[in-house]
Structure 1
Amino acid sequence: MIGPFAPTAPPTSYLTFLECARCGARADHSREAHLCTDCGGPLLARYDLERIKASVPRNVLYGRQHSLWRYRELLPLDEAENAVSLGEGNTPLYELPILGQKLGLHRLMVKDEGLLPTGTFKARGAAVGVSRAGELGATTLVLPTAGNAGSAWAAYGARAGIGVVVVMPADTPEVIQRETAAYGARTYLVDGSIADAGAVVKHAVAEYGWYDASTLKEPYRIEGKKTMGFELAEQLGWHLPDVIVYPTGGGVGLIGMWKAFEELRAVGWLAETEKRPRFISVQASGCAPIVKAFHEEKDESEPWPDPKTVAAGLRVPKALGDFLVLRILRESSGAALDVGDERILEMMRVVGVTEGLLACPEGAAAFEAAYQLRQAGMIHEHEDVVVFNTGAGMKYFEHLPGAKPLRLAKGEIMPRVEPQREDVEGGYRPLVIDKDRLRVAPDEEGEG
Structure 2
Amino acid sequence: MFEKKLVCTRCGAEYPLASGIYKCPKCGAPLDVTYHYEDIANLIEDDDPWFRESPHVWKYWMFLPVKNLKRIVTLNEGGTRLYRLKRLEEKLGFGRLYVKYEGENPTGAFKDRGSSVEVTKALEFHAKRLIVASTGNMAASISAYGAKAGLEVTIVVPEGTPEEKLTQARVYGAKVEVYGKTYDEALAEAERKAVEEDYYLTGNYHYRVEGQKTTAFEILDQLRYNVPDWIVVPVGAGTHLRAIWKGVKEFHRVGLIEELPKIAGAQIEGYDSVVRAWKTGKPVEKVEKKVPTIASAIAVKKPVDGENVIKAVNESGGHLGTVTNAETAEAGLMLGREGIFVEPSSATSLALARKMREEGVIEKDESVVVVATGHGLKDVKTWERILSGNFVV
TM over 0.5: yes
Give the alignment of 1:126-275 within 5 angstroms: 126-216=115-205, 219-271=206-258, 274=259
- Residue aligning to 2:279: 295
Q: In the alignment, is the contact (CA less than 8 A) between 1:394 and 1:400 conserved in 2?
A: no
For 2:357, the aligned partner's letter is R
Match of residue 381, structure 2, among 398, 401, 407: 398
TM-score by length of 2: 0.94
Task: Return the offset for 1:112.
Answer: 0.4
Which consecutive residues of structure 2, in runs of 5 or more, have no partner in the other structure?
A: 389-393
Task: Return the offset for 1:234.
Answer: 1.0
- Residue aligning to 2:347: 364
For 1:360, the aligned partner's letter is E
Task: Return the offset for 1:399.
Answer: 2.2
Percent pairwise identity: 33
Confirm whether residue 83 of structure 1 aligns to residue 66 of structure 2: no
Q: In the alignment, is the contact (CA less than 8 A) between 1:155 and 1:180 conserved in 2?
A: yes
Q: In the alignment, is the contact (CA less than 8 A) between 2:130 and 2:199 conserved in 1?
A: yes
In the alignment, the residues of structure 2 paired with residue 79 and residue 194 of structure 1 have an alpha-carbon distance, to the nearest angstrom, of 34
Q: In the alignment, is the contact (CA less than 8 A) between 2:8 and 2:14 conserved in 1?
A: yes
Task: Return the offset for 1:307.
Answer: 3.4
CA RMSD, aligned part only? 1.6
Match of residue 102, structure 1, among 91, 112, 116: 91
Q: Secondary structure of the equivalent of 1:400?
A: helix
For 2:35, the aligned partner's letter is Y
- Residue aligning to 2:6: 18
Alpha-carbon distance change, 164 to 324 in structure 1, aligned in 2, over 3 angstroms: same
- Residue aligning to 2:266: 282
Confirm whether residue 341 of structure 1 aligns to residue 341 of structure 2: no
Alpha-carbon distance change, 185 to 356 in structure 1, aligned in 2, over 3 angstroms: same
Which whole-Å deviations, capped at 9, do the CAs of 1:236-295 have from their partners, x for residues lacking one?
Answer: 111211011110001111111111122112222223xx2x21111101002111111111
For 1:55, the aligned partner's letter is L
Q: In the alignment, is the contact (CA less than 8 A) between 1:175 and 1:396 conserved in 2?
A: yes
For 1:176, the aligned partner's letter is K
Tell me which stretches of 4 or more aligned residues in structure 1 moved more than 6 Å. none
Give the alignment of 1:315-330 within 5 angstroms: 315-330=299-314
Which consecutive residues of structure 1, in runs of 5 or more, have no partner in the other structure?
A: 1-12, 405-448
Q: Secondary structure of the equivalent of 1:134?
A: helix
> Which structure features the higher share of helix residues?
2
State how many pairs are aligned: 385
Task: Return the offset for 1:403.
Answer: 6.3
Q: Secondary structure of the equivalent of 1:280?
A: strand
In the alignment, the residues of structure 2 paired with residue 25 and residue 222 of structure 1 have an alpha-carbon distance, to the nearest angstrom, of 18
In the alignment, the residues of structure 2 paired with residue 31 and residue 159 of structure 1 have an alpha-carbon distance, to the nearest angstrom, of 25
For 1:108, the aligned partner's letter is L
In the alignment, the residues of structure 1 paired with residue 51 and residue 310 of structure 2 have an alpha-carbon distance, to the nearest angstrom, of 35
For 1:35, the aligned partner's letter is K
Q: Secondary structure of the equivalent of 2:65?
A: coil
For 1:323, the aligned partner's letter is E
Q: Secondary structure of the equivalent of 1:385?
A: strand
Alpha-carbon distance change, 65 to 169 in structure 1, aligned in 2, over 3 angstroms: same
Q: In the alignment, is the contact (CA less than 8 A) between 2:96 and 2:367 conserved in 1?
A: yes
My pick for the range that moved more, 110-119 or 334-343, is 334-343
My pick for the range that moved more, 57-66 or 141-150, is 57-66
Task: Return the offset for 1:194.
Answer: 0.6
In the alignment, the residues of structure 2 paired with residue 65 and residue 99 of structure 1 have an alpha-carbon distance, to the nearest angstrom, of 27
